[in-house]
């Protein structure tokens, strides 16, 4: 059987019946594609709505956090806030309240009883402080954000209490940040967790 020529192939193709759409049929298909409840339109409308909801949720959380921080004695995370004007900050973890004495000093209180504090001092003042302690333990602690000397002080008072002293060194100012906890108000485990949140803001 001989192969068909191009002209013969074209003639055969033109002989096939062709189906066309009239204007009304085209209109029906167009309306169907543009219906609001089509999956494509639904997806198209979903994303702007989801984005708007996410933005509103983010704004609500941000404003709520700001309001809580403004009306609370202790900031949501840091006891003295993490604002740049504060020289230091710490998270009390709901174990005590923080009373700011000055820009260089703060005290901790549990039910109105002093439980510790923070004070900025020179290297010489740190050595005087340690000399006045009844030191049970004296060491340099590894694993902290700043170099720190630690002493465990046995105060031979009526209550014979222990005081945990942490002397953090600011490598920028060369000052010591003395963070201390009274054991009878804040136990050793809590003190260890809380002191790791201490930050120097300078």
The predicted-structure confidence for 47-68, as pLDDT tens digits, reads as follows 566 666 665 666 656 555 544 4
- State the CB neighbour count (10 A cutoff) for residue 110: 16
- Among left, alpha and beta (phi > 0; psi -120 to 50; other), residue 62 is alpha
For 113, list phi and psi in degrees, rounded to 5: -105, 135
For 157, list phi and psi in degrees, rounded to 5: -105, -170
On whether the CB atoms of residues 186 and 179 are closer than 8 A, the answer is no
* Bridge partner residues of 153 (DSSP): 135, 163
| pTM for this entry | 0.60
- Provide the token pair at 127: 């050595």
Give the separation between CA 185 and CA 99, rounded to whole angstroms.
16
- Provide the token pair at 199: 């930050």
Quote the pLDDT of residue 76. 35
Give the separation between CA 167 and CA 173, rounded to whole angstroms.
14
Q: Residue 5: pLDDT band by 50, 70, 90 thresholds?
A: confident
CA 154, 156, 157, 159 torsion: positive or negative? positive
Task: Give the lowest-confidence range in 52-66, 109-123, 182-196.
Answer: 52-66
Question: Class assignment of domain 75-200?
Answer: alpha beta
Output DSSP code: residue 10.
H
The string of pLDDT tens digits covering residues 140-150 is: 999 899 999 99
């Amino acid at each position: 059987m001989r192969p068909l020529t191009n002209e013969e192939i074209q003639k055969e193709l033109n002989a096939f019946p062709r189906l066309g759409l009239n204007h009304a049929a085209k209109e029906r298909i167009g309306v169907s594609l543009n219906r609001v409840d089509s999956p494509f339109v639904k997806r198209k409308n979903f994303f702007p709505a989801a984005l708007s909801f996410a933005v509103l949720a983010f704004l609500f959380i941000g404003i709520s956090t700001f309001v809580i921080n403004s009306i609370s004695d202790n900031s949501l995370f840091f006891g003295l806030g993490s604002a740049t004007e504060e020289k230091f900050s710490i998270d009390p973890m709901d174990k005590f309240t923080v009373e700011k004495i000055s820009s260089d000093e703060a005290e901790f209180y549990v039910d109105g009883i002093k439980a510790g504090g923070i004070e900025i001092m020179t290297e010489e003042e740190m050595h005087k402080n340690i000399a006045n302690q009844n030191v049970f333990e004296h060491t340099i602690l590894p694993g902290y954000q700043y170099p720190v000397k630690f002493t465990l002080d046995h105060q031979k008072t009526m209550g014979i209490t222990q005081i945990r002293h942490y002397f953090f060194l600011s490598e920028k100012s060369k000052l010591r940040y003395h963070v201390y906890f009274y054991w009878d108000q804040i136990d050793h485990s809590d003190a260890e967790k809380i002191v790791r949140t201490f930050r120097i803001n300078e």
